[in-house]
Structure 1
């Protein structure tokens, strides 16, 4: 996933609030399409799920980081429209909604990312 330099201040501010114990249970991040919003969400989720974060970065070698890199972390849900469609299906939203009410599979937190959709 491409990282853009203008994401760094927002990323460091969000990570800093979680490190200081002031992180919120839910975030709503908005960006223009193609400006890196998905990368910011993914990086924040990787950091928050990491078992051994190093400063403002995820370690990249713990079990949670390896699962995120492989795209198979059981507590991370990425919502995006199906191929060829421009809108999210209600079934996908319901499926993720049900999973968010279950206990975290790795004992930590659960996160869901919603792809940037045009209005």
Structure 2
């Protein structure tokens, strides 16, 4: 068994990322106003683009190996869309957004006409 296989590099899932995509992913990873999940996915994709093994990616982003395996696969299918999630901020995409909820509260607080 060679050195790299002993340390888990045989299970890497390398994904292709263009220089432009890399620049965007790095910005998303560094921005504090992004949701944590977006930053974490961006970081995982960047690691996968360098051929880092799934087990190491999972440790670095503090997620299960299965999750760390799904994110690069999602990336290959939908690219940048896979990083942005409909569940960011613990809000289901099918439910009203926070802004929409605030608008509803204002409307419901008004007396009937």
TM-score greater than 0.5 by the shorter chain? no
Q: Which structure is higher in helix share?
A: 2
Q: Which structure is higher in strand share?
A: 1
Give me the TM-score of the superposition, normalised by structure 1. Answer: 0.26
Give me the TM-score of the superposition, normalised by structure 2. Answer: 0.27
